[in-house]
Chains A and B, each alone.
Chain A
Amino acid sequence: METPRLSPETRRVLERFLERPTDWQYGYSLSRETGLSSGTLYPILMRLEKHRVLEARWVTTEEGVPPRHTYRLTPDGLEFARAKLALPRPDWTAQQATPNEGKA
């Protein structure tokens, strides 16, 4: 599995998923829990989905209302998140300087 880079914001998102690893979660509730705006959160969600850390599906909640996108950790994603978050938080500037780390 390709591993996306872990920015502090991405770590925060993964931490939320790890709290309820099997639950499907909505973008807006994630936004409230992590304090990230839509413009920050969604690029992270899509990137994690692209790297198969997350899986997503469309859910129709009621007629006439646009469907909602929900997300949860994949089995690989769960393993990845646990491995990454178990490690002490890296110095972000040092991580940025490592060219191959997390590059897809």
Chain B
Amino acid sequence: MTLKASLRQSAALLLECAIRLAPQDTREWGQAMRGELNHVESPWTALMWALGGAGVLMKHALAALLMPGDRGLPLGRGLFARNVRKVALVVDSVFLLATLVFFAAPPFRQGLRVSLTVWNQPFQVTPLPPSAWNRQGGLRALSTRAEAQHDPEGLVFAAARLVDARESARLADEAVRLDPRLLWLYAIVAVRHPDLAEIQQWIPRLEQWDPQNALPYLITAESIDIDRGNKAAGLPRAEWRKADADPAWQSAMAAAFAAPNFDDYLDRLRELDGKVVRRYGFNDPYAALSAEDADLPTYSGSDAEQFAASVLQSGRKLEARGDRKTAAKEYWRVARFGQVLDSRRGHRRATGF
């Protein structure tokens, strides 16, 4: 079949399909256009003729669909040019309005944001500018309401997520004051904001409250690390290296390695999150998930590695001296701490977090 014949056939097929879909009272003039098709000289012109006819037939088919009572726009009412446009305008406006209302619905906005976020990385888009992120308007509003209602759980939710360290510490203190059982919040805020001066008061309370947990000791070690880092600022690297032997840091890390478990308290936070999100109708999934950043503190890895190296070194020295039994104990300290951390990760994998 030649191209010309194909074009003509396509044009005829297009018009015939449009005639079938067109309202009853417009089919006659569809047939009239179909009748002319054989007398159009050029196949391209025939295709254009068919496209024009099919377009207007579809316009009426759509209008008939939207206004079934009108039986597809009666022909004799002067409707062709203007009334159809009016109807289309009204229908378009209604749909546009409905769309805008849809966009105004928080669950839709939330869903849209979540859907679009998967494209942020490929297109290197930052979901929110840092300034907007730092404002955390929704979280701040929630914390204001929680304070007004003396709701410690709402305060925990906000304190665990606010990027403003001072405000986070203030809310944490207020939450624990209202409900001392929420003392674990100090650990979450301390991990998130390790520079806070309040940590010095929080740590003894945490260690007393949960002495079996390695986390408070790791927080202590990190606090010492930050402090010595501040003091060593500007000092030569050799001086900074000396600080590794700080007995307070060594003691904190030894306590962490001796602790029988590791709990970052995020399970407690998640349990509480569900209640707070429902209670306050909190609709920002990213802010809600932002506490996940706290997870296993990154410094626990570096500090533990540093301390483990010194313990292993001590084990090797003991082994070299022939004290294999004490050396084995040293090696086991490292292995056991690894198991404690790993069991926590295993628990997280098992629970899906």
Contact = CB atoms under 8 A, between A and B. Distances in A.
Contacts of B76: 2, 47, 50-51, 104
Q: How large is the interface on B (under 10, 10 to 19, 20 to 34, 35 or more residues)?
A: 20 to 34
Interface stretch (B30-38, B63-71, B125-133): B30-38
Main secondary structure of the interface of B (DSSP, over half): helix
A39 B34 contact: no
A102 B39 CA distance: 34
Contact of B78 (A5, A27, A38, A56): A5
Interface stretch (B50-58, B141-149, B174-182): B50-58
Contacts of B33: 27, 38, 42
B49 A67 contact: no
A4 interface: yes
Nearest to B25: A46
Given A28-B39, A69-B35, A46 B53 contact: no
B98 interface: no
A11 B57 CA distance: 23
Interface in A42-84: 42-47, 50-51, 56, 58, 65-69
B40 interface: yes
B35 to A, nearest CB: 4
A22 interface: no
Contacts of A104: 76-78
B332 interface: no
Given A68-B36, A69-B35, A39 B56 contact: yes
B90 interface: no
